[in-house]
Each structure stands twice: as C-alpha cells, then as structure tokens.
Amino acid sequence: FVLGAAAAVEQPARLAFVADVVGKEDLTNAVALNSSMYNSARIVGPAIAGLLLAWIGEAGCFFVNAVTYLAVILAMFAVRLPPQTLPRSPLRVTESLGQGLGYVWDAKVIRALMIVVAVSSFFTLPYMALMPVFARDVLGSGPEGLGFLMTAVGIGAITGALGVANIQPGRRGRWLTWGNIMGPLCLLLFCLSGSFAVSLVLVVLVGASNAVRQTLANSLIQLTSAEEYRGRVMSVFNLVFNGMSRMGALGVGAMAEVTSAPWALGLGAIVSLVWGLSLIWRMPYVHRLR
C-alpha cells in the first residue's frame, strides 16, 4: 500500500521531470530513450533475478533491488536544473486536482490523447496478463515458451521506442494513429494464431506498436500541456494508463473464464481496432499533430 502510494506521487513527477531536464525540443527522444531503457530492463532484469534467486533467495532479491535505488537517488541529487520562473502559491490539493482535471477535459487535444491511452490500455494491454495462458493452453509451449514470448514483447517494445526517436517532427500524430491501429490488429492475429513461431513474430509487432503509441501519446501530451499544468496532466496520464490496464486485465480475465483467452482478448482487440480506425475521421486533428 505504501509502495503504491509513493508510486502515485513519484511516477507522474518523473514523467513531467523529463521535460525540465531535456527541454521540449528533445522531449520525444527522451521519452523514447526512457521507454527503451525500461523495456531493456524487462528483458535483462528477470534473467539476473533468476540467478540471484538461486543464490540468495526471494528476500535477498528484494533487498538487492532496494539497494540499487541508492544509485538513482544519488543521480537525482546530481541533476542541476535552470531556475524555475513559475509563481509559487500555497498548495491546495483538492483545488489543484480539480483544476488539473478541468484542464485535461477542456483541452481538446489532450482529452483526445487521454482517450486513446484509456481505450488501448483497457482493451489491448491486458494481453500481458493472459500470456501464461496462451503459452500453456493455446500454444502448448510451457514455461520456456512463455519466456520467449515475454522476451519477444520486450524486443518489439525496444524497437518501437527507438523508432520513435527517429520520427521527424510533423509526423508524430500520423505515427501515433498507425501504432493505435497496428497494435490491436496484430493482437487479433495473435489470438487467431496456433503457431508458436508466428505468434512470436506477432507479439514483437504488438510490443513495437504499443511502444510507439504510448511513447508518442506521452510526449505529445507533455508538448501540448501548459507548463503550470504539466505535472497534474501527467498524473492523470499515469492514472489512466495504469488504472485502465489493471481494470482491463480483471475484465478480460473474467471473460476468459467464461469463454476462452483467445476469445476474450480477441474481442478487446476488435473494439480497440474499430476505435483506432474511427479516430481517423472522428478526431482528425490527432492524426495531424506535429
């Protein structure tokens, strides 16, 4: 509970802090680099943890993980930022939250991007929660196959994040739209696939598409937000991204109990795909974002 409460403060602050460190002109590249490092850690971290687990046990793994945060804390102390010119006023939490939510709702572009994040997080990201079921029951590949599938997702996500860093300004909205379509399309094909090799290729594409969408949505929201609201806007982004993905996992898991994992996840992919296609004419300004 305490860890979750701390993360609720730390994560949006970290997201908004990126722009303070690098400036808005390099924000998209910085967010892409952050995403690629995160997904690299998802590949390397479990391998290291597996070795440590056999050596020092579960509690030892958690202890080593906690100690590594000292390096992060020291790095944060070393960061030097330009002087802040924003006016300082007494903090009123309720009023501040209300202003932040009102700003997100009133800003048409930010509201549209939040909806993109919410729909994709609820309907497509839960595939990670059902991946063990696919590995065991659908593809018959067992724990080793699950390891390969999760690694493939990470490789795709790293590739997609690094690809975002090479997108020329003026095409971000276009790539966001394509990522929002290709992700659920490849996920739908994954649900229909019975071949382990084909499934590996498809989850690479799913990971890449999701990384493109989330990285661009993150950076475009920050680039569009007014400076004084950026922290609160990223709090809403963090709430939508993490909250909707966990709610979606619960819903898809419950549906999978009644039907099957491919049916439950496939229906979500169809909803997300239809929404992504409709976005082109319902919110064309998102496609034109620079």
**DSSP per-residue string spanning the chain:** -HHHHHHHHHHHHHHHHHHHHH-GGGHHHHHHHHHHHHHHHHHHHHHHHHHHHHHHHHHHHHHHHHHHHHHHHHHHHH---PPP-SPP----HHHHHHHHHHHHHH-HHHHHHHHHHHHHHHHTTTHHHHHHHIIIIIS--HHHHHHHHHHHHHHHHHHHHHHHHTPPTT-HHHHHHHHHHHHHHHHHHHHH---HHHHHHHHHHHHHHHHHHHHHHHHHHHHHS-GGGHHHHHHHHHHHHHHHHHHHHHHHHHHHHHS-HHHHHHHHHHHHHHHHHHHHHHSHHHHT--
Structure tokens at 121: 């997080």
User: Which of 62-66, 216-220, 261-265 has the least mean pLDDT?
Assistant: 216-220
pLDDT value for 85 = 65
pTM: 0.79
What whole-number distance in Å separates Cα of residue 117 and Cα of residue 284?
16
pLDDT value for 90 = 66
- The radius of gyration computed from the CA coordinates of the chain, to the nearest angstrom, equals 20
pLDDT value for 91 = 66
Residue whose tokens read 């819903």: 251
Which residues lie below 8 Å from residue 261, measured CB to CB, with a gap of 6+?
A: 130, 133, 134, 137, 138
Average pLDDT of 66-87?
Answer: 82
pLDDT at position 290 over 70: no
What proportion of the chain, given as a percentage, has pLDDT over 70? 94
What whole-number distance in Å separates Cα of residue 245 and Cα of residue 120?
8
The number of beta carbons lying within 10 Å of the beta carbon of residue 176 is 27
pLDDT at position 199 over 90: yes
* Amino acid code (one letter) for 283: M
Residue 90: burial class (beta carbons within 10 Å; 0-12, 13-18, 19+): exposed
Average pLDDT of 190-204?
Answer: 92
Residue 52: burial class (beta carbons within 10 Å; 0-12, 13-18, 19+): middle
Residue whose tokens read 């590996």: 200
pLDDT at position 198 over 90: yes
pLDDT value for 189 = 95
